[in-house]
Amino acid sequence: MIVDGWDQKLLEAIQQGLPISPRPYARLGDLLGLSENEVIERLDRLKQIGLIKRMGVIVKHRSLGYLANAMIVWDIPDHQVQEVGRQISEFEFVNLCYRRPRSGQDWPYNLYCMIHGKNRESVLKKFNFLEQCCQTQSFPREILFSVRCFKQRGAIYYHSDQELADG
């Protein structure tokens, strides 16, 4: 994957938000010293190589009344985790599904998903539906509802030792 300094600057700039004006890519280009076409071509390429997963409106769930969110963690046998993970990720209301390492006896969980809802009941309803469909009831699991959000922001870029950090 080849990402040059211009790509990095472009990603950094667009992460602040695309201007809401008739020629937003031209505005972005003006800031960076790139032409409008170069901006569009580079973004298109970054999308094709998968460095941009999607491009569009980024919604704040909490301000739309999606106040409840739960992180659900399961301990799924290693040989089944991929299959179960893929099944879980198919549900419309699941918006993250990751495998992570177990961490000692205290934390045997290896599969994570996130469910948002307007309230606790609606999250639990979705969760129960998911467990029935995926037959995961027999696996050890925990539901970690969020209590408070101390910090939430989109991924940002910053420079460290002239290296580009992640988003």
Partner 1 sequence: MLTPLHKQLLNDYQRDFPLSTTPYRDIAEELGISEHEVLEALTELYEANVITRIGPVIPPNRVGVSTLAAMSVPKEDIMAIAEIINKRPEVNHNYEREHHYNLWFVIIASNQAHLHHVIAELERLTSYSIMSLPLLDDYFIDLSFKLDFDDC
Site for partner 1 in 35-74 (CB under 8 A): 36, 40, 43-44, 46-47, 50-61, 63-65, 71
CB of 53 to partner 1, least distance (A): 5
- Chosen residue from 5, 21, 105, 137 binding partner 1 by CB under 8 A: 21
3-class state of residue 86 by DSSP: helix
Choose between 95 and 132: whose C-beta lies nearer to partner 1.
95
Residues 124, 127, 130: CA angle, nearest 5 degrees: 155
Nearer to partner 1, 137 or 162 (CB): 162
To the nearest whole angstrom, how small is the minimum distance from the Cβ of residue 93 to partner 1? 7
Contact 3, 12 (CB under 8 A): no
Considering beta carbons, is residue 65 or 140 the nearer one to partner 1? 65
- Amino acid occupying residue 88: I
Q: Could you give the C-alpha distances from 124 to 47, 57, 154, in angstroms and in order?
A: 35, 27, 26
Q: Which is nearer to partner 1, 21 or 138 (CB)?
A: 21
Q: What are phi and psi of 159, to 5 degrees?
A: -105, 140
104 burial via Cβ count (<10 Å: 0-12, 13-18, 19+): exposed
One residue of 97, 115, 130, 134 binding partner 1 per CB under 8 A: 97
- Shortest CB 137 distance to partner 1, Å: 19
- To partner 1, the closest distance from the beta carbon of 158 in angstroms equals 6
**Does residue 149 interact with partner 1 by CB under 8 A?**
yes
Q: Report yes or no: 41 and 55 within 8 Å, Cβ to Cβ.
A: no
Show the site string, 116-145: x = touches partner 1 by CB under 8 A, - = not: xxx---x-------------------x-xx
Q: Which has the closest alpha carbon to 56: 68, 65, 43, 45?
A: 43
Question: How many residues touch partner 1 (CB under 8 A)?
Answer: 81
At residue 23, the 3 state secondary structure works out as coil
